[in-house]
Each structure stands twice: as C-alpha cells, then as structure tokens.
Structure 1
Amino acid sequence: MGKLKGFFMTLFSLILFLTGVFYVIKHDRSNYMGILYTDYNDLSKQEYQKGFKTLDECKQWAYDTADGQELEDGSWDYECGIGCEIKDTGFQFRKWSCENVTKGNLFSELKDRIRDLSITDGDTITSSMTITGHARNMFYEGTFPVTIVSSDGLVLYNGLAVTDGDWMTEEFIPFTIEIDYFDPQGSAEGLLILENDNPSGLDEYDFTYVVEVVFPE
C-alpha cells in the first residue's frame, strides 16, 4: 500500500511539474520580448528583456533603456516580438527569430530601401546566379556593393548591383546582381549583404541589407 501511495505521489508531482512547464511556455509565447541594439553599426551589442504584456510596454522599455544609457538618436534601434528564440549562433552576432515582430525606425527605414528582392532568407545562392530587385538611396553612379560571407565571417564574393535607371532619383528603380563563381569554402550557410554606396565615407550614412542564404552541398 505504501509503495502504491508513493507511486501516485510521484505521478502527481510529475503532472504538476509538466503543467507548470506548459504554463510557462504558453505564458512566454503570449508575452512580448524586447531586443535593444545599443549600437546600430554593431548588432552584437544587444540587450533584451522578456515578459511584456503589450507591444507598447516593450517599446517603452526600449526607449527608457536607451534614455538611461544616454544613447544618441539614430545610433540604436529595437525589435519587439512574441515567442523569440535564438535562430542561429553561428553568425558573428546573436540572431533572434520572433513572431509578430515590430521594428524601430532605423530598421523600418532600412527595410524600405530594398523591395522585390528575388532572393529571401533561407534561399540557396549559387554561382552564375542572377538576383533582381528594386532599390532607392543605395546607388552611386548606378551601382552599389554586394558581398557574400560565410557564417564565420569569411568573405566569399564581392560584386556590384547595377541599374540602368536614374540612380539619383528618390524613387525605387530596378537593379540586377550577376553572381559570378564563388567557393563556399565548406560552409553550409552565410549572408548576402547589400550595402549602399556611400562616397562620403561617413558612418552615419552607411546602410546594409542582409539576407540569410544557404550554399549548395
């Protein structure tokens, strides 16, 4: 009788434990998490906070934290999302994957410089590949630089995006990237990086657009 009672007590404790785990998981995935990038030019500099019940609370945390650290306007940004998890630790900075993501002004402005890109996160990139899209405020004399790097930061390819349109316009114009041969150097994945051509050389005018890509086996 004592053994049977002990068995049921153990089973009851296990049920309570699993119930608590499921509650925490469900609770965590219903709340917002904030990620603060304290230096927009170095995304490895991050702070994060979990448990916000609303998007507004998450945003307010980001602004309050930035104010508390006296970060200059335009030097930092944030993301707020639900169910955030580390997506890939192989890159040089922690990357998060979240649901219902809301991004700050700098991220939004950056995102709005590139549209209709024919390659998206998770796509395979190969030699002798043509990539197309539309861009604005990225060009100088009709081109902007393109780089492919491996997950450990090794530069695999340098090239140019080219347009035949009026590159000085503020409107979106089409561009083409002709990827020549490149060697993945044994890496399975990496980044396609589109950078605005910045003849001023001033960091505050630099912008990059990053796509996570997969290399063929």
Structure 2
Amino acid sequence: MKNALVIIILSTLLFSCKNENNQQTKTPEENIEIEEGTTEVSNKPAAIKDTIEVYQLRPGEIISSPLKIEGRARGTWYFEASFAIRLLDENGNELAVVPAEAQDSWMTEDWVPFEATLEFENPDFKEGVLVFEKANPSGLDEHDRDLRVKVAFVPSP
C-alpha cells in the first residue's frame, strides 16, 4: 500500500514539473486587469491576472452578432471542458448565453485556450456586459468568480 502511494505522489510531482517546463509562453500583450465583478473601459484586452484573458475583446468595444470570442483561462476555470459566457443588457437582463469550449485538455492548472461564438438579437440598449463565469459545479457561493466586460451595441437602424 505504501509503495502505491509513493508511486502516485512521485507521478504527480513528475507530471507537475513537466507541465511547468512546457507551459504556453504566448500571452496577449498589454492586457487590462479587471477586478472580479466589475466593469471597466480601456483599449486593452480584458483579463483577471493569472486566471482568464480574452484576446481580442476590449472593454467598451462595440459588438454585434455573431461575436467570436477567443482567449485562455486556467484549467480551474472550466468544468467538463467549458464555462458560461453571458451577455446582459444594461438592466441586467440576459440576452444570450453560450458555453466557452476548451481547445485543449482542461484538467490542469495551466492555461487552456477557449473559443465561443455568441449570437444575439441587437437590443434597444446602448450598453451591456459580457460575463465570463467560472464553472462552479459545487454551487457554493465561495467558488463563484467572474470577469465582467462592459460592451456597447451597434445602434439599431
């Protein structure tokens, strides 16, 4: 029994060291770090430091449907290889929700790229919020985390 436990521990350590040496080095340049649960406007891509980064979407950006979203998040942000992205209007009404899908193995603490395409009807509102929700299969409030990015909508004709 002790031998099996030692083998499991050594295997885990070896796997961890291997992952540290093979970490993805590509990072979006000049990300803006947005505190959880807040919105900001900037010309830099949105991110929560060392947790989630959205490559092309900048706070305050004008969006339209379909909206392709790409970025990367730590494996701990996913459950079953996905997490939710919600689009809310300025009153907090949900306009659309889509799963962000991991593009690589998500059972890690390393960075894992994601992609999603959000389709929605253009609302009558000027502004909204994209919410990137950390998967929380436990349902416990202390495990809730999100990145909120303020967006603008294409004006209706």
If the length of structure 1 is used for normalisation, what is the TM-score?
0.48
Offset of 1:96 from its aligned partner?
7.9
Which ranges in structure 2 are unaligned for 5 or more consecutive residues? 1-35, 42-46
Contact 1:127 1:179 in 2 (8 A): yes
Which residue number corresponds to residue 189 of structure 1? 127
2:55 paired with 1:117? yes
SS at match of 1:121: coil
Q: How many Å separate the matches in 2 of 1:167 and 1:117?
A: 18
* Pick aligned residue for 1:164 from 99, 103, 111: 103
2:97 paired with 1:176? no
One-letter amino acid of the structure 2 residue matched with residue 168 of structure 1: M
* Pick aligned residue for 2:64 from 126, 145, 170: 126
Which ranges in structure 1 are unaligned for 5 or more consecutive residues? 1-39, 44-94, 98-107
SS at match of 1:201: coil
SS at match of 2:62: coil
Contact 1:111 1:209 in 2 (8 A): no
Q: How many Å separate the matches in 1 of 2:123 and 2:66?
A: 17
Deviations 1:122-179 (A, max 9, x none): 1112111211001012101110001000111111111110113111110111100111
Q: How many Å separate the matches in 2 of 1:142 and 1:152?
A: 30
Q: How many Å separate the matches in 2 of 1:149 and 1:116?
A: 17
Indicate the structure whose relative CO is greater, using CA pairs within 8 Å and at least 6 residues apart. Answer: 2
SS at match of 1:204: helix
More helix by share: 1
Aligned residues: 114
Query: Counterparts of 1:43-192 in structure 2 under 5 Å?
Result: 110-136=48-74, 137-180=76-119, 182-192=120-130
**Percent of matched pairs sharing the same residue:** 32
Q: Once superposed, what is the RMSD of the aligned Cα atoms?
A: 2.2
One-letter amino acid of the structure 2 residue matched with residue 125 of structure 1: I
SS at match of 1:209: strand
One-letter amino acid of the structure 2 residue matched with residue 152 of structure 1: N
Q: How many Å separate the matches in 2 of 1:185 and 1:122?
A: 16
Deviations 1:55-78 (A, max 9, x none): xxxxxxxxxxxxxxxxxxxxxxxx
